[in-house]
Amino acid sequence: VRRRASAARLEGLAVESVLVTEEPGVEVELARASRGRGLDLVLDAVGGPLGPMLARALRPGGRFIHYGLLSGEPLPRETWADPERIRFELFALRDWL
């Protein structure tokens, strides 16, 4: 999640870990949460500068699903730096609502 207040709303749910992207060290925490294997899936509703960091956290063959721009910024080009290693899927959520 982006903010600590959002993390608080997840307390008590059956989740292994909740990371706050605005806090320092989140990239290290992502690696720790995946036990060094990389993430299977990233669901990105934010866009903007977090995209490359989230893409790097994926395991080979991992999936990056981008469905929103809450940041108001598009994903930087380097997010798609390694398309052979990561599967990217894009869709406009508002088209489905």
Q: Where are the beta strands (DSSP E) in 21-82?
A: 39-44, 58-66
The tokens for 44 are: 């990105």
Q: What is the pLDDT of residues 54-63, one digit of tens each?
A: 999 999 999 9
Helix (H, G, I), strand (E, B) or coil at 90: strand
Q: What is the pLDDT of residues 7-38, one digit of tens each?
A: 888 888 888 888 888 888 888 888 888 888 99
pTM to 2 decimals?
0.80
Using left for φ > 0, alpha for ψ between -120 and 50, and beta otherwise, residue 11 falls in: beta
